[in-house]
Amino acid sequence: MSAVEEALRASIVAHWQTHGRTPHLLISFHGIPERYCRQGDPYYKRCHTTARLLADELLLQEREWSVSFQSRFGAAEWLKPATMAVLSAMPARAVREITVVCPGFAVDCLETLEEIALENRDTFLRAGGQRFEYVPALNAGAAHARHAATRFLGRHHFALEPTHRRRAGRGWVREAPGAAAFIALATGGADRRIAVGDGRAGVIAARTIVAGLAEAGGYA
């Protein structure tokens, strides 16, 4: 089980411990056009593999979980079953309490907070559902930050031991030879930023990634 899958499992368990467990878990992934899979895209299989691993780690029986696909747009046929269709049919199958998690979203956005937590919730309740729980995305969780930090460092070949450091604005800029990245750590403000490359990639507000770096044994 990957670090992200373990973080997802832990987030679901924590949500159930706080809000109470439901009889069914719906694992909703972002959909894609079906033709992509017919052309060889492994996305559909990988979604089901992830869902199976998650369900196994949660010790769920077959009847206690299912997979769906959300956020369809356009005229093409997309992966099925559609999340909204599944939710509207659940109460007729005597599933009136449900938890929904969206593993494909690293952070919450309109497609989770509005489409799932509002629109799909209303669909479920109007169909006769009694309780709808949405598990938030990993967002700023410590495990997610550690994973993001590790991926960031690996992708950009960032050296953890810079040769020197210089003062820049409110914080320190640590520079590593041959690395197309730098991290500016603010010493007293709420905003810590990471800049990638020579600046063309923009500046990302990344307090969580810096926290993850510290926990992963990088910058403190």
Co-location of 207 and 130 in the same domain:
no
Co-location of 130 and 146 in the same domain:
no
Co-location of 174 and 120 in the same domain:
no
**Quick one: CA torsion of 29, 34, 39, 45, rounded to 10 degrees?**
30
The CA–CA distances, whole Å, from 114 to 109, 110, 120 equal: 8, 5, 8
**For residue 13, is it within any domain?**
yes
Co-location of 119 and 36 in the same domain:
yes
The last residue of a domain, from among 101, 134, 167? 134
User: What pLDDT, on a 0 to 100 scale, did the predictor assign at position 155?
Assistant: 61
Co-location of 83 and 39 in the same domain:
yes
Co-location of 123 and 188 in the same domain:
no
> Across residues 89-107, what is the average pLDDT?
96
Closest CA to 107 of 211, 208, 220, 210: 208
Structure-token match 């450091």, residue found: 165
CATH of the domain at 82: 3.40.50.1400
Domain count, the chain: 2
Conformation bin of residue 16: beta by default, left when phi > 0, alpha when psi is -120 to 50? alpha
Give tens-digit pLDDT for 16-50.
Answer: 999 999 999 999 999 999 999 999 999 999 999 99
**For residue 220, is it within any domain?**
no
Q: Is residue 143 within 8 Å of residue 7, measured between CB atoms?
A: yes
**For residue 51, is it within any domain?**
yes
Highest mean pLDDT out of 9-18, 157-166, 177-186? 9-18
pTM of the model: 0.71
Co-location of 76 and 23 in the same domain:
yes
pLDDT at residue 14 tops 80: yes
Co-location of 117 and 147 in the same domain:
no
By residue range, what is the domain housing residue 123?
3-134
Measured between alpha carbons, how far is 143 from 217 in angstroms, rounded to an integer? 14
Structure-token match 């799909």, residue found: 120
Co-location of 163 and 198 in the same domain:
yes
**For residue 210, is it within any domain?**
yes
User: What pLDDT, on a 0 to 100 scale, did the predictor assign at position 165?
Assistant: 46
User: What pLDDT, on a 0 to 100 scale, did the predictor assign at position 154?
Assistant: 62
> Across residues 100-120, what is the average pLDDT?
96
**For residue 27, is it within any domain?**
yes
Co-location of 47 and 129 in the same domain:
yes
